[in-house]
Amino acid sequence: MLCPRCRASMNQEVLVGHLGAPITVDLCLPCQMFWFDAHESLKLSPGAVLKLFRIIGDQALTPRPAITNQPLCPRCNIHLVVTHDQQRNTRFQYLRCPWDHGRLIAFVDFLREKDFIRPLSMDQIEELRQNVQSVNCSSCGAPIDLSKHSACPHCGAPLSMLDLKRAGAVVAELRASEQPRPIDPALPLNLERARAEVDAAFASFQHGPRWTSDVSQVGLIEAGLSALAKWLKNNE
């Protein structure tokens, strides 16, 4: 299948859905977009979400090219429609087929949908300003001058970051859900240990020079994703 955004051939990932049913997801790595046929995103198992999380993390530091053409549905060739949605308090958007053939969603908005991303508080923005002059918006890629703005002046997206504590907890829970039954009675203790390890790893990373460098070059969310991807690889 061709990418609706850049017209290049998309890669396919065969994932395990609920009840063990296979789901084939199309993805464009250069554009950092997923194509989900109708309702596929809702059918992903915890292990499938974790696998997509790894793919996203591996691409986090790669700039996404700007494409100006209007994406077309790969099934019926009609123009895709911008659609706004909300997961709890987090807003996200995607492009959907008016005939409900599927939707095209950016990696970052997929993470928003799965509740991995949260806006920065004012205290966190002030702390960021002490170390970084500008960041790139994770939604549209435009630069944000932190001395003047606390949200993207181009698309209005708030400054957001990967919720590292949430990510650590979810990664631990996703791993646990993939374990065969009966559940190990030591599972709660193992979950707490995994969360503590993720928290410690990111606390160390966020106070190092690499964090500031990655944030300045690619953005807050991308820097966190890259760090989490490295942690996942080291702890597989």
Q: Do 134 and 158 lie in a common domain?
A: yes
Q: Which residue has the tokens 């966020």?
A: 206
Q: Do 99 and 45 lie in a common domain?
A: yes
pLDDT in tens, 177-223: 655 555 556 656 666 766 676 666 666 666 666 667 777 777 888 88
Report the chain's terminal Cα–Cα distance, integer Å: 31
Section 139-145 average pLDDT: 85
**Which pLDDT band, with edges at 50, 70 and 90, does 235 fall under?**
low
Q: Is 207 exposed, middle or buried (0-12, 13-18, 19+ CB in 10 A)?
A: exposed
* CA separation for the pair 165, 162 (Å, rounded): 9
| Residue 1 within a domain | no
The residue segments making up the domain with residue 202 are: 117-234
Q: Do 130 and 223 lie in a common domain?
A: yes
Query: Which SS3 state, helix, strand or coil, does residue 172 take?
Result: helix
Q: Output the pLDDT for position 118.
A: 83
Structural domain count, the chain: 2
| Residue 50 within a domain | yes
pLDDT in tens, 88-118: 778 899 999 999 999 999 998 998 888 888 8
Q: Where are the beta strands (DSSP E) in 41-179?
A: 81-87, 90-96, 102-106, 117-119, 134-136, 143-145, 160-162
- Please identify, among 95, 113, 131, the residue that sits at the C-terminal boundary of a domain: 113
| Residue 96 within a domain | yes
Q: Do 52 and 94 lie in a common domain?
A: yes
Q: How is residue 150 written in tokens?
A: 């606390």
Q: Do 56 and 83 lie in a common domain?
A: yes
- Please identify, among 79, 113, 147, the residue that sits at the C-terminal boundary of a domain: 113
* CA separation for the pair 139, 154 (Å, rounded): 10
Q: Which residue has the higher pLDDT, 142 or 66?
A: 142
| Residue 221 within a domain | yes
* CA separation for the pair 186, 20 (Å, rounded): 26
| Residue 46 within a domain | yes
* CA separation for the pair 98, 77 (Å, rounded): 11
Q: Do 155 and 199 lie in a common domain?
A: yes
Q: How is residue 109 written in tokens?
A: 């908005």
| Residue 48 within a domain | yes
Q: Do 28 and 68 lie in a common domain?
A: yes
- Please identify, among 48, 79, 113, the residue that sits at the C-terminal boundary of a domain: 113
Section 146-170 average pLDDT: 82
**β-strand partners of 91:** 86
pLDDT in tens, 160-190: 888 766 666 666 666 666 555 555 566 566 6
Q: Do 100 and 121 lie in a common domain?
A: no
pLDDT in tens, 9-63: 999 999 988 878 899 999 999 999 999 998 888 888 877 888 888 888 888 778 7
* CA separation for the pair 1, 146 (Å, rounded): 40
Q: Do 230 and 121 lie in a common domain?
A: yes
* CA separation for the pair 228, 118 (Å, rounded): 16
Q: Do 58 and 20 lie in a common domain?
A: yes
Q: Do 80 and 102 lie in a common domain?
A: yes
| Residue 6 within a domain | no
* CA separation for the pair 201, 31 (Å, rounded): 29
Q: Do 46 and 93 lie in a common domain?
A: yes
DSSP annotation of 76 reads: T
| Residue 2 within a domain | no
